[in-house]
């Protein structure tokens, strides 16, 4: 017997299926839009190793490195109509010394979140800056300036340390740019090392190798070392 409840259930089940299929299509459509992010510049501008407390919550003094850098990147192709936000971060990485095998040390020194225009209401933009953003995006589905990053002599957000407490004169350090695309519908996607179809690998994501300098002597760092830095 067909009661109205059964009808309601069937209808609801049908709409759930439709919604699921549509979501699957949206997620799959991401693969059809080309991604060709690139990095024009990624280089260090100043290097410093000091001894002190790298964070206000550090209990012990240790060596930490402050890496300032410049970055020019074009991630605009990551912003499609299904992009909610892109998490961008820069790491410093260097090979471990012999005993630890081939493991690579990696530490985040800077990060940011770039929201897509469709997610502006979620970020804490003031009405004035929101108006400006809307104006610059008027008539376009994607603001062309989203995803363009240009940093000059940027201070790191995070100092890097090593569990051993020693980081001065580390060799073969490189900076690397990473991104993580969070779509409205679908799965998270990180930067990849190889091309997948229309998604091209991030070009120029690695800086040249450099070595961290020797520890700055106490006299030279008076007033700098040991002071708390905000994380």
Ligand X SMILES: *[C@@H]1O[C@H](CO)[C@@H](O)[C@H](O)[C@H]1NC(C)=O
Instruction: Please give the residue ranges that form the binding site for ligand X (CB under 6 A).
Output: 36, 74, 76-77, 101-102, 148
Give the span between the Cα atoms of 73 and 202, in whole angstroms.
10
Say which residues have a Cβ less than 8 Å from residue 94's Cβ, sequence separation at least 6: 104, 105, 170, 171, 172, 173, 174
Closer CB to ligand X, 33 or 180, in the complex: 33
3-state secondary structure of 118: helix
Closer CB to ligand X, 46 or 96, in the complex: 96
Closer CB to ligand X, 142 or 175, in the complex: 142
Please report which helix (H) or strand (E) contains residue 94, including its range: strand 83-95
* Least distance to ligand X, CB of residue 157, Å: 25
* Least distance to ligand X, CB of residue 36, Å: 4
* Least distance to ligand X, CB of residue 52, Å: 33
Closer CB to ligand X, 195 or 220, in the complex: 195
41's tokens:
């510049």
Give the span between the Cα atoms of 159 and 125, in whole angstroms.
28
* Least distance to ligand X, CB of residue 218, Å: 38
């Amino acid at each position: 017997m067909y009661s109205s409840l059964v009808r309601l259930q069937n209808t609801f089940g049908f709409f759930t299926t439709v919604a699921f299929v549509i979501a699957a299509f949206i997620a799959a459509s991401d693969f059809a839009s080309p991604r060709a992010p690139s990095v024009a510049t990624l280089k260090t501008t100043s290097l410093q190793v000091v001894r002190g407390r790298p964070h206000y919550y550090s209990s012990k003094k240790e060596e930490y490195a402050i890496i300032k850098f410049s970055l020019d990147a074009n991630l605009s192709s990551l912003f499609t109509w299904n992009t909610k936000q892109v998490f961008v971060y820069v790491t410093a990485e260097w090979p471990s010394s012999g005993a630890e095998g081939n493991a690579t040390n990696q530490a985040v020194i800077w990060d940011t979140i770039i929201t897509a225009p469709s997610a502006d209401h979620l970020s804490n933009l003031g009405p004035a800056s929101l108006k400006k953003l809307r104006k610059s995006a008027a008539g376009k589905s994607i603001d062309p300036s989203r995803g363009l990053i240009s940093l000059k002599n940027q201070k790191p957000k995070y100092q890097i340390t090593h569990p051993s407490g020693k980081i001065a004169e580390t060799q073969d350090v490189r900076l690397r740019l990473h991104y993580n695309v969070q779509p409205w519908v679908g799965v998270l996607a990180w930067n990849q090392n190889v091309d997948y179809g229309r998604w091209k690998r991030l070009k120029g994501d690695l800086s040249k190798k450099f070595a961290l300098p020797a520890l700055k002597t106490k006299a030279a760092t008076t007033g700098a070392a040991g002071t708390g830095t905000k994380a």
